[in-house]
Every structure is written in C-alpha cells, then in structure tokens.
Structure 1
Amino acid sequence: MTDSIIKTVEIAAPVERVWDALIDHEKFGAWFLVAIDQPFAVGQTNTGRMTYPGYEHFPWESRTVAIEPMTRFAFEWPATGGDEDAIKNGVPEWMLVEFVLEPSATGTTLTVTESGFDKVPEPRRSNVLRSNDGGWTEQMQNIKRYAEG
C-alpha cells in the first residue's frame, strides 16, 4: 500500500488563472462541486457541503495549512473517503492535500498530493485510498476544464 495519491495535469491556462481557481473558495467550489461557507485562510477551518449530485448531504470540512501565492495551496480534511458512517460519526485521521503549480510551456503543470493514508486503519484505509484516487482523477479534469474555459 502507499501513503499518498499523486495526480498531475497540464492545464492550458496561465498560473494566475489556475491559482485563482484554487484559492478563491467560490471558484474552487464551482469545479470541485462543493459550497464552501468562507474564504480560505491559513489556520482557519472551512465548512460547507458537497454539491456533487448524489452527495449533497455530505458536509465539507477542511483546515487551511498553506497559501503560498502562485505556487502552493494546502489543506487538511477528514479521511472519510465518502463513507456514510465515517462522515456521520467523524474520524480522527486527517489527510493533507497539497496543490503545487509550476509554469509550463503550455500553461501550468498542476500536481495534487494527498497524503497521510498510513494513519487510517484497515479496512477503511483501502476504501479511502480507492475512493479518493478515483475522486482526484475526476477533480483534476474538472479544474482543467474550469481553468481552460
């Protein structure tokens, strides 16, 4: 097993546009399909709810860890993996999600890394890894479409 998920996507848009899609909580929500109640700020907790069809009853909670303009945005969130019981009852494990932006010949290279899976006990660990791996594959295409549009 691995402790992290890493996904990279090339986006045909300038770093500034991709950064704005990440750091503006309303724009983030537009492509991630979540309604977040307040702007991202280091050390602050963000709350809200998913707007993804079929998951509208799932809450959003994250803690902003880093905002390094045009290069890195990071937050922690609970390791629920979309599991109804874990969401309802809460989990002690929080995962670190880091977005790193680099200028490229065609625009921006965006890499997301979610780490901390080694803290999650089995069998939930395998389920969270599988669920989040598929989720990040979809979300990277979502931000690509959003930033390029």
Structure 2
Amino acid sequence: MESMTINPPSTVDREAFAVRRTIRIAAPVEQVWRAVTQPEHISKWFGIAEFSGTAVGATGTLEFPGYGKVPLRIEAIDEPRSISYRWGNDDALGSLPDAVDDATSTVFTFTLEPIADGTRLTVVETGFERTSNPAENLASHGEGWVSELDKLVALADAGGLAG
C-alpha cells in the first residue's frame, strides 16, 4: 500500500495579512527546488508556468484552467534555499491584470530546508492588505496553498520529482 504524506493546513494571520504553510516533501532539496523554480516542473503541480527567464526580475504567468493567466515576477533568489515571486492574483477583482502591479500584488516565498526524510518547504504569502478585499483573499489563498501544495506532495510521493 502506498503511503501518502499528510501535512497541516495553512495558517492565516489576519493581523499581518499573511498566509503560511509548512509541509514535508519526501524528496531531496534539489528536486523540490526544480519543482518550485523551473516552469516545466511548476506546470506539473501548480499552474501552467511560462517565464521570460530564471533570474530576479524575470516575468511570466501561471495559467489556471477556468481562472486565467496570473502575471508574476521573480523578486528574489537564494538558490537552493528560497525564491520569492510577486503576482497579481487578487481573487476579488473579477478579472486578472496583464502585468504585476506592485501597489496591489502579493508576494509568496518558498523556503526549502533539508530534513532527514526529504525537504521541509514553507510558503509565506504577504501583502494582502494591498488587495481589493483582504479578508476574502486571505481565506481564498489559505485554501489555495493547501490544494496546490498537496498536489506537489502527491507528485513527490509518486516519484514525479525525480526527473
């Protein structure tokens, strides 16, 4: 019988306007790094990813079927420990912008730490106070990080990060 990794849900901090989730992934840091930084690997679990490059300042989109293309930009990289993306994913607007707007976007950072049986991955998304409906967006993204990161864990459990 195949074992499935179970992780805790996201934590929503309404005072700090932030969402945080820490999970365990049964794969080495190098594999998880590729999964959160390379478009062909991101597309296997998150959204269909397209980037103009892999350095700070590179822009691109994450496309979610039935939702649309979300613009994003790489904000910071500390390979293979952390990467930050800024995205224009304001769920309450009703339509997605064509480019990242620093005034209304949020930033999410993946932090990777090696542990005995794989990788501890923490995502923290901040900046919800700048969105059109902070409470609604916090709740939506809190749930979103559960479903999206659970797909990454399932991919790792199935051996799908090894390639």
TM range (shorter): 0.7 to 0.9
Deviations 1:90-110 (A, max 9, x none): 874110100000011111000
- Structure 1 unaligned blocks of 5 or more: none
Task: State how far apart, in whole Å, the 1-side matches of 2:155 and 2:119 are.
Answer: 13
Task: State how far apart, in whole Å, the 2-side matches of 1:61 and 1:138 are.
Answer: 20
Using structure 1 for the length normalisation, give the TM-score. 0.84
Cα distance 1:120–1:20, how it changes in 2: closer, same or farther (>3 A)? same
Task: State how far apart, in whole Å, the 1-side matches of 2:98 and 2:44 are.
Answer: 27
Cα distance 1:27–1:39, how it changes in 2: closer, same or farther (>3 A)? farther
Q: Would you say the 8 A contact 1:38–1:47 is kept in 2?
A: no
Structure 2 equivalent of residue 62 of structure 1: 72
Q: How large is the RMSD of aligned CA atoms in angstroms?
A: 2.1
> SS at the partner of 2:94?
helix
Q: Would you say the 8 A contact 1:99–1:113 is kept in 2?
A: yes
The match for 1:118 among 129, 132, 137 is 129
Deviations 1:93-134 (A, max 9, x none): 11010000001111100000000112234xx11111111111
- Structure 2 unaligned blocks of 5 or more: 1-13
Q: Would you say the 8 A contact 2:90–2:131 is kept in 1?
A: no
Task: State how far apart, in whole Å, the 1-side matches of 2:38 and 2:56 are.
Answer: 13
1:49 aligns with 2:58: no
Amino acid at match of 2:145: W
Whose helix proportion is higher, 1 or 2?
1
Task: State how far apart, in whole Å, the 1-side matches of 2:94 and 2:71 are.
Answer: 16
Cα distance 1:63–1:89, how it changes in 2: closer, same or farther (>3 A)? closer
Task: State how far apart, in whole Å, the 1-side matches of 2:143 and 2:79 are.
Answer: 28
Q: Would you say the 8 A contact 2:70–2:96 is kept in 1?
A: no
Amino acid at match of 2:28: P
Q: Would you say the 8 A contact 1:6–1:114 is kept in 2?
A: yes
> SS at the partner of 1:134?
helix
Task: State how far apart, in whole Å, the 1-side matches of 2:44 and 2:34 are.
Answer: 12
- The Cα of 1:24 is off from its aligned counterpart by 0.8
Structure 2 equivalent of residue 106 of structure 1: 117
Q: Percent identity?
A: 31
Aligned pairs, how many? 142
Deviations 1:43-102 (A, max 9, x none): 12113522x4x33xx112101011211100111011412x46242698741101000000
Q: Would you say the 8 A contact 2:71–2:98 is kept in 1?
A: no
